[in-house]
Structure 1
């Protein structure tokens, strides 16, 4: 018996970053949206932990570990420890979310693993306990369980759904060279310093989501990590310029990068923007709707 769970990529519509805390983390005020790029995680019974990988075209797997340091193994062990059981599983990951792209693909895999093993082992873990386990695994893992659109607080692990009446379309443009999240946060600290204010979620962004107004949303997008990321990778500025020339309503870095997201009016506009970016020789271009569901069981 195997269980397959699908989990989506995330995009930060707003990413506000505060001064570094004593524990080394930065407080965040963010608005997450799950978008239609997916990883599928299939879990099956096994005597020991096993991880196998496959991917869609243009998804590089070299940086994804297959041993116990993969987050899916840590997720499975955490779930087993929570229930006081000694079990293992084989985990097959099929990746459609770009690796090391600022789209939280690893977090999506961890969330999918929690759901898959909970079903495979008939554990009936409460939503509250799954979210608590997810929060200990990583800042983006709880949102990968919840999906749709949500406000994130703390270091991002405290999530609460928000009203979103939009049918949004995005074009994601990947980059073959990754960008280190710790390096981007260090650059943020150097650029901004300790005097940065505590972050807040802007009301105008929440209003744009509630109204489902793409023009208002385009004006409200913001990412405090964008400037430090571009300082480390000035070449990404060309992607921004090309996206604007292609007609995107707004262009923003996804998380700590290097993936760039472009807001479009609708599906037809997204196809136009994606085609224009491909014509400029970008080979990692995906059109994706949002918001979409969190981690959920699928059947083939």
Structure 2
């Protein structure tokens, strides 16, 4: 299978609130796919729709080739899922909850689960109620991947965890993808996502702004710092994601074809100097959050100034 998830023109409303607005995307198999957005952007709604826990108002969704409306139970059996706040039986020990969960899966689920507990250094005899948040998260992850699912869905899995536990989670994601399986990671921890993601999707208020490989984003997006001799903004032959002005210095986040030569900008009469830098994923994310995704470069001074003022606000 070359595609783990297919979403086509999906919309979902809760009363007057639009959680998802005509969203389409494809998640290739064997990748770490990161779904990024602020709280309320529609990330958790997307996950619930994929698992058949909610139904879309329109559009279609398929997971591992199965329809999310008609085959939700089959999907949940073949997918591993770690919610932001895992529901675990506090009165059970780590060993007991693995034995209980094994009843829903074929062998050797319990054996694999115990191997994972050992890997994550979880004491098998300790009750869930006596575990730290990080330890509970390790139990939840072990339960989700012990049956070696083809797709693992994680909803803010590292939220509130300490640095070492977060690192273990991330290393696990890379290992799973290396085995040819797929990880869908919903998170607002942008710096962590940057370390492991193959493909990034950015969602804002239910609207999908971009879906692209992380390598492609970082090759095509540049930060330009342009010093001018006058107050007029420079002319840029490319798409602008964000811009701001401080005195005679302009700073842009632009999207442009790879290997673009920005030195040519110095040929403009008022351009004094041009500096370029590759922004972080977090900076790219913030730019998409703050700017209109349809914004493009323009030679009109008024349009650039208006865009700058909007970003400053």
Q: TM-score range by the shorter chain?
A: under 0.3
Which TM-score applies when normalising by structure 2? 0.27
- Choose between structure 1 and 2 for higher RCO, CA contacts under 8 A separated by at least 6 residues: 1
Whose Rg is larger? 2
